[in-house]
């Protein structure tokens, strides 16, 4: 019998016989120990991914997963934010939530959703054809079921659009005709209640939300997390996004990541050209609070 199995059974027995106050104290201690171990693992991973030179593409193993990555820093940031900070965590009312993962990249967020909800039904969107191939490999290689992957970007209109890839996580729709990709409307996938919407689409957040709201289907989303992208010389759209969410019956909160992921939002404040800043907008329907 393994130590894990033994300790788990012993703890289950203790939870029955110990007073409530003692059980809560033990829960807090265990949580702190687990968080401490997670931070140590995170520090070791950062050291490896940001080695000189930084870790390049290849195979990486973590937890029970094996994934192909595009580069070390990108993988570290996604693992830190999604598995450790849990920026896309939500509490589902059913064991098989419907999740729309818009901007799936190499699939770390999909792995997180499946880690928390193994029965989740997930639709993932990734426009970059090269990254999409890695995404497919990571989903199939980890034997994830009930996952549909779509090689397309999201925007206000369906069709095609010019796309600027960066080989990592920053590819985006552009005015320059670098690469032509397929484009879909989010509303086409909002025909039933959606438990969680992740929207990380490199600047197309407002057009996509406006189109979904105009179709009347955005109200089918229960919870969402939007990663807003701001540029010093670009349009300011955060205010419009927040106003739209308010009009559509959502309550929202804003978070600007930690210093490592989004140093641009930390004092002393300054705008630098071609240096984007990021924040997360969490929104939940008022009736679901």
Domain range summary for the chain, segments of one domain joined by +: 1-43, 73-288
Average of per-residue pLDDT across 66-94? 95
Query: For the domain 73-288, what is the CATH code?
Result: 3.40.50.150
Tens of pLDDT, residue by residue over 98-127, are 999 999 999 999 999 999 999 999 999 999
For 172, other C-beta atoms within 10 Å of its C-beta total 19
Tens of pLDDT, residue by residue over 218-266, are 999 999 999 998 888 888 999 999 999 999 999 999 999 998 898 899 9
Average of per-residue pLDDT across 274-284? 92
Average of per-residue pLDDT across 260-287? 90
- Of 13-17, 34-38, 39-43, the one with minimum mean pLDDT is 13-17
CA-derived radius of gyration, the chain = 20
Q: Which among 138, 203, 173 has a CA at the least distance from the CA of 122?
A: 138
Q: What is the model's pLDDT at position 173? A: 66
**Residue 274, preceding peptide bond in cis (omega within 30° of 0):** no
User: Residue 267 contacts by C-beta under 8 Å, 6 or more apart in sequence?
Assistant: none
Q: What is the model's pLDDT at position 170? A: 67
Contact 244, 210 (CB under 8 A): yes
pLDDT at 9 over 70: no
Cα(194)–Cα(224) distance, integer angstroms: 9
């Amino acid at each position: 019998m393994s130590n894990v199995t033994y300790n788990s059974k012993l703890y289950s027995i203790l939870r029955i016989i110990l007073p409530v106050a003692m059980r809560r104290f033990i829960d807090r201690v265990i949580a702190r120990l687990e968080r401490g171990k997670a931070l140590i693992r995170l520090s070791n991973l950062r050291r490896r991914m940001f080695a000189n030179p930084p870790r390049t593409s290849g195979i990486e193993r973590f937890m029970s997963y094996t994934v192909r990555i595009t580069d070390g820093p990108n993988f570290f940031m996604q693992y830190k934010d999604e598995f450790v900070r849990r920026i896309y965590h939500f509490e589902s009312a059913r064991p098989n939530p419907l999740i729309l993962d818009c901007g799936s990249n190499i699939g770390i967020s999909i792995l997180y959703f499946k880690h928390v909800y193994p029965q989740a039904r997930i639709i993932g969107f990734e426009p970059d054809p090269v990254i999409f191939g890695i995404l497919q490999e990571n989903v199939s290689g980890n034997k994830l079921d009930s996952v549909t992957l779509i090689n397309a970007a999201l925007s206000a209109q369906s069709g095609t659009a010019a796309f600027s890839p960066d080989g990592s996580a920053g590819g985006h729709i552009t005015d320059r005709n670098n690469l032509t990709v397929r484009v879909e409307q989010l509303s086409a996938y909002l025909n039933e209640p959606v438990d969680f919407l992740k929207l990380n689409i490199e600047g197309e957040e407002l057009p996509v939300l406006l189109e979904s709201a105009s179709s009347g289907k955005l109200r089918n989303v229960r919870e969402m997390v939007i990663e807003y992208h701001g540029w010093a010389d670009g349009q300011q759209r955060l205010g419009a996004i927040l106003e739209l969410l308010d009009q559509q019956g959502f309550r929202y909160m804003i978070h600007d990541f930690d210093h490592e992921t989004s140093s641009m939002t930390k004092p002393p404040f300054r705008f630098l050209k071609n240096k984007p800043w990021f924040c997360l907008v969490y929104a939940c329907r008022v009736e679901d609070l």
